[in-house]
Every structure is written in C-alpha cells, then in structure tokens.
Amino acid sequence: MSSVNIQDLDNFNAFHEVWDETESCSGSLQGMTIAIKDNIVTKEGTTTCGSKMLKGYKSPFNATVVDRLICAGATLVGKTNCDEFAMGSSTEHCAWGPVLNPWDKTRVPGGSSGGSAVAVAARMCNAALGSDTGGSIRQPAALCGIVGFKPTYGTVSRYGLVAFASSLDQIGTFTQSVNDTAKIMHVIAGHDEFDSTSNPEPLPDFLGNLNTPIDNLRIGVPSQYRGDQNDPAINTAITAAIETYKNIGATIVDIDLPLTDVGVSTYYVLAPAEASSNLARYDGIRYGHRTSEKCKDLIELYAKSRAEGFGAEVKRRIMLGTYVLSSGYYDAYYNNALKIRRLICEEYKEAFSKCDVILGPTTPTVAFKIGEKTDPVSMYMNDVYTANTNIAGICGISIPCGFSEEHGTPLPIGLHLQAQWHDDVKLLRIAQMFESSTMFHKQSPECCS
C-alpha cells in the first residue's frame, strides 16, 4: 500500500465504525469498496490535500459525494495521496512523497489524482473518487490502465471539494469498468442545494440503457490529436480503437479542433488565477499551517507561514496567478484567456454538430519515469488533450485501449472520448460499446494479477 500513500491507516477502522453505526448498508453500492482523494473532505480521518499546509486537518462535515456514497451502502476505505492541492500531472508534488505506478514502480501514475488511480489499478479497492481540473482523473486513469470519468461541469456536487480552480474543478470516478462508473454516477450525481453551480435538472438514468449500442454513431477524430507529438505506440493504439468502432458500426468523421494547441496556455492562465484567489485563505491565521518563528508583524507571519506550508509547485502557480490578475497584466493575460475560453466552447459546438463524440488519446505519452520531467512546461503538456474539456465544461472519459511494449514492461494507453454538455449518459454508452468489444480493462499489473 506504500505505493498509493493512502493516508491515516489508523483511521480505517474509524471510518467503518462511525459510518456503519449511522448509515444503512442496504443501498445500491452495498459491498463496493471506495477510496476518496485527499482533497475531498470527510469527517473521519484527515483531509490534507497532500500539503503540509493542512497537515492533521479534520473536517467537521462530509462532502456531499461522501454522504451519498455512505447512504448507498459503499464501504469507504480511506484517503488517497494526490499532488498538493491537486496541482500537478504526475503525483510527484506531494508533501507525503510520490505515488508509484503499479505497472512499473519507477514511473509516475499521472496526476493529480494518482493515489486514487493506483488504488483502483492495484485492486486495493473497487473504485475511487478524484477531482479533475485539467485532466487529473482521465490522465492518471490512462497511465494506470483503468476507467476515469469527468462528468459535465455541475453534474456532481463540488460541496466539500477543496477548491483549486472553481470554474474548472469537477469530482469524478475511477473504476475497473464503465458499468461500475455508471453505478457510482447514479448515486453521486444530481442537484445539491449546497453547491450553487450544480445542475438543477432531473438526474438522468445512468444505468437504464448502458448496454444498448448507439445507432448511427458518428465519431469525430481531430487531425490535431494524431501526429509526431504522440508516442508511436499511442498512435497505433488509437488507430486500432478507431477500427474497433468501425467494426461495430460507427461512422468516422474527420473534424478540426485548431484551438487544441492553445488549450494548455489558456488553462495555465485561468487555473492559476483562480488558485491564487482560492488559496489566499491559507495564511496561518484563518486556515492552515502557522509558522513557529517569531514575526515582527502580520505580513511577515503570512509570508513565513505560506513559505513553510506550500510546496514549490503550489507557490509557482500562486505567483503566476497573482501576476496574470495584476492591474498591469489583467487584460493582456486573464481577459484574453476568457475570450479564448469562449472560442473553445464555440469550437466544440461546431464539432458536435458533426459527431456524437470526439475520439483521441488521453495523453501524448505513456507513464514517464519519476523525476524525469524537471521542466514545468514539459510536465504541463501532458494535459494537452484533456485541458480543453474542463475549459468548456463538457464531459470526458478515459478507457484502456492498449499497451506500449517499448519500455521493457507493458505500460497502459488510454482512449479519450469527449461528448457535449449533459451527454454524460450517451458518453458512457459509447464507452461501453468499446469496452464490450475488447478485453483491455480486464488486464491488471503483475502485483495483483
């Protein structure tokens, strides 16, 4: 379990003792074991967001998704490690140490929800919850060979999710199959009066037609998603996935998403800007770590507390966000990023007028070595195919579609499918069509086979 860094092992029994006494175990998730990312609050155990800033923090309430899982009879097994405040693409940026990929423990599991992905991939639990701000569920799901689902923004309540970038954050699921994804979504989705951004529309039926294929299915394949920027094994796996869909009756449509290349740049203006605002509360007075050093004034107390509590990646994004929001640069950076966000939404609308889903790779590479990417920009490029999903607020899923054999050990490859706003159920049905025609989701690392 050390490769997952599940927090507070001593509190596992406390989870069961407290929750089993107060909640019914007769729900639809009876017998399902689920882990919770460490940035989703729970009354039992601690919620640290992988940061020294919140070391030992105990929440006085459960997140809405946690209460809904409990009411459905799920067994919650603990909290999983993550990049600090969910800022990262590798789960190396953690106060409690990096998480190891179970397919090759010298490699990263992806991030920021790497602990949740590994817990499911290594069969330590049936499923896990994570958060996805720019690909933080789908990317680790791809690198760990499991199913990772990011719902349409507002489909699942964010009440109790520690905020990173509020207009981009979305709670989603890690599972071993699309069917399990639908089961959990049927429980955690739906309007929540405690979250003003949650969708007030009636909850769709995630399970009713899951195994019914989509007639006249049109799959869009952007030219921007296939090229030399991808590992050759990934392009091969995506080509094979396209052939699988053709064989089950889908029509392949060539489409263009020219703003793909500017998505990462847009994301790394919008997300740090919101983060700099959301993380301002951690000042050593109201929330979080307070320095033990003697300070001459309040400003010095703030500075030392934040310097000690935050890690390097969080500091980098706070400074970047503060910069783009400053009076001299707001129009040049943040305001322009908002304009590009609107254009990305329009681009997706145009694409979805031609197809039901958009298909491509989840990541441009397979899992890389721990410590290999020291340049922040090269790390950020891992989100090139996933960031625009969050910018637009549409739904996306990563499902296993193959393996790369070029690195001495099989490394999973993820197929990324995106559907338009509130087409979550259709997206799961289309993912199920592929999963029913392949066996990639049945394969597991040697550690648990």
Hey, is 357 helix, strand or coil? strand
According to the model, what pLDDT value does residue 203 have? 86
126 and 198 in a single domain? The answer is yes
Q: What is the pLDDT of residues 81-124, one digit of tens each?
A: 999 999 999 999 999 999 999 999 999 999 999 999 999 999 99
Hey, is 253 helix, strand or coil? strand
Query: Which stretch of DSSP H or E encloses residue 360?
Result: strand 357-361
In a domain, residue 354? The reply is: no
Q: What is the pLDDT of residues 255-297, one digit of tens each?
A: 999 999 999 999 999 999 999 999 999 999 988 999 999 999 9
133 and 14 in a single domain? The answer is yes
Q: Does the active-site annotation cover 28?
A: no
Contact (Cβ atoms closer than 8 angstroms) between residue 446 and residue 409: no
The reply to whether the predicted model has a pTM over 0.85 is: yes
Hey, is 398 helix, strand or coil? strand
Based on the structure, what is the number of domains in the chain? 2
Give the domain extent around 312.
Answer: 260-341
422 and 335 in a single domain? The answer is no
Q: Does the active-site annotation cover 167?
A: no
207 and 275 in a single domain? The answer is no
In a domain, residue 229? The reply is: no
Residue 449 binned pLDDT confidence (cut-offs 50, 70, 90) = low
In a domain, residue 431? The reply is: yes
Q: Which of 4, 168, 151 is nearest to 86 (CA)?
A: 168
Out of 3, 59, 116, 136, which one is annotated catalytic?
136
* DSSP per position, 30-83: TT-EEEEETTB--SSS---TT-GGGTT---SS--HHHHHHHHTT-EEEEEE--S
Out of 3, 51, 112, 404, which one is annotated catalytic?
112
Out of 37, 79, 183, 304, which one is annotated catalytic?
37
CA separation (Å) from 171 to 111, 152, 163, 385? 14, 10, 11, 19
In a domain, residue 225? The reply is: no
Task: Compute the distance between CA of residue 358 and CA of residue 81 in angstroms, rounded to an integer.
Answer: 31
44 and 156 in a single domain? The answer is yes
Q: Does the active-site annotation cover 37?
A: yes
Residue 4 binned pLDDT confidence (cut-offs 50, 70, 90) = low
Q: Which of 375, 260, 384, 272 is nearest to 329 (CA)?
A: 272
In a domain, residue 357? The reply is: no
136 and 209 in a single domain? The answer is yes
